[in-house]
């Protein structure tokens, strides 16, 4: 029972980071979380260390655990590195993916499609994250796969805007993203790295603009600015 509670806390904290329920940079209340998950502080700290190793949390002596930050330097590195790493992962996935892994990716994509139909933004964020994690598992690179994992954490946090439908164009972009998922899986299954890399970069460009807005939000209407100034 204790192990199941510990595992639940691990998966639940991951999801809470990815969906911004836990804000970037926020401190974690060890006592409250220990009570919430029904585990003692020692196994909870083990979970914190595991999540810190994966990039979800940061640990500092005398300050405890905090959600990994999204400061300017981190975001700059993200936008520089993401397309390069995603493209390399796509190429390696085409070369190394097993039939079992491809089948698992198809199942994740089917769940993503279901979440899309239900306009469930939170599930889409988590399932998109899982699908791209699976591409990394296919690539199985001791160098690139850990870097992909760290990128995907911030990608998920910034994609909240992308997966929330505000108007018809938002829905069209989400449908396009789903179609690209399926095409990438097909390219991997067909061992076609050129097409997979091209699709991966198209997929990156589709979401990049909305992620830019996470860093640089739309300006307030000029009337609102004037009211604040007055």
Domains defined along the chain, listed by start: 2-67 (1.10.10.10), 72-215 (1.20.120.530)
154-176: average pLDDT: 84
pLDDT score for 219: 63
- Would the pTM of this model clear 0.75, i.e. be above it? yes
CA distance 176 to 108: 17
DSSP string, 166-202: -SHHHHHHHHHHHHHHHHHHHHHHTT-HHHHHHHHHH
Helix (H/G/I), strand (E/B), else coil: 6: helix
Q: Is residue 212's pLDDT more than 60?
A: yes
Half-sphere exposure at residue 178, Cβ-oriented, CA atoms within 13 angstroms: 22
Does 210 have pLDDT greater than 80? no
The per-residue pLDDT for 197 is 98
Query: How do residues 87-116 score in pLDDT, each as one tens digit?
Result: 999 999 999 999 999 999 999 999 999 999
């Amino acid at each position: 029972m204790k192990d199941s509670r510990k595992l639940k806390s691990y998966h639940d904290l991951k999801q809470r980071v990815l969906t911004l329920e836990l804000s970037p940079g926020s401190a974690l209340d060890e006592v409250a979380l220990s009570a919430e998950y029904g585990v003692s502080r020692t196994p909870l700290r083990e979970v914190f260390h595991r999540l810190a190793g994966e990039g979800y949390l940061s640990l500092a002596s005398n300050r405890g655990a905090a959600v990994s930050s999204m400061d300017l330097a981190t975001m700059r590195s993200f936008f520089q590195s993401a397309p390069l790493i995603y493209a390399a992962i796509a190429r390696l996935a085409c070369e190394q993916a097993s039939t079992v892994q491809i089948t698992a990716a198809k199942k994740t994509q089917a769940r993503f499609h279901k979440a899309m139909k239900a306009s469930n933004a939170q599930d889409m964020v988590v399932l998109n994250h899982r699908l791209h994690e699976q591409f990394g598992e296919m690539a199985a690179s001791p160098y690139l796969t850990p870097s992909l994992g760290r990128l995907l954490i911030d990608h998920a946090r910034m994609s909240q805007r992308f997966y929330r439908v505000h108007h018809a164009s938002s829905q069209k972009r989400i449908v396009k993203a789903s179609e690209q998922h399926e095409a990438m899986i097909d390219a991997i299954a067909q061992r076609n790295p050129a097409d997979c890399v091209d699709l991966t970069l198209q997929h990156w460009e589709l979401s990049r603009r909305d992620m830019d807005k996470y860093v640089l939000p739309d300006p307030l209407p000029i009337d609102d600015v004037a009211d604040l100034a007055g």
